[in-house]
Amino acid sequence: MATALLLIDVQRDMLLTPSVAASLRALLSRARNAGAPVVHVRSDDQQLLFGSWRGEAVVDRTDENAFLGSALTEALPPGTRLVVAGVWSEHAVSATVTAALGRGYRVVLASGAHEGFKPEAARQTEDELAAAGAVIADADAVPFS
């Protein structure tokens, strides 16, 4: 089963804590080095924080659930396991992970590589999404093979 990295709203206009920004950068680097598919989801046609490489999909979302009204489904290879990271945990990340689970995707939420408006939001979102069926794994330990 292929593993794809799904980055949600990792944009230049987002104010990320340094530790989350570093985790996101490292996660993206590992995915790219492994040749894993990378899909960037953004809102409002914003610039991506780390840019996109040739062959990486960039999907514009119009809803917190990035599957609604976008080309996200078409951007994901069939049978893909999704590693999800980004902002904001309690909004677009949560809504998109919940929708992915409902569509039958296996989802890993990269702990330490997503951020909420408030510090406790990331942990609360992890608890809620784990109860819904997502796997929560430390961003440094997520395999891309």
Task: Domain of residue 86: give its range.
Answer: 3-141
pLDDT for 28:
98
Please say if the pLDDT value at position 78 is more than 90: no
Strands 57-61 and 38-43: parallel
**Looking at residues 17-26, what average pLDDT do you find?**
96
Buried b (16+ CB within 10 A) or exposed e, 79-102: ebbbbbbbbbbbbbbbbbbbbbbe
pLDDT for 92:
98
Structurally, the chain folds into a number of domains equal to 1
Report pTM.
0.96
Distance CA 127, CA 44 (A): 29
CATH number of the structural domain spanning residue 72: 3.40.50.850
Q: How many C-beta atoms lie closer than 10 Å to residue 130's C-beta?
A: 12
Confidence class of residue 44 from pLDDT cuts 50, 70 and 90? confident
Please say if the pLDDT value at position 91 is more than 80: yes
Please say if the pLDDT value at position 25 is more than 80: yes
pLDDT for 1:
75
CB distance 116 to 88 below 8 Å = yes
Please say if the pLDDT value at position 145 is more than 80: no
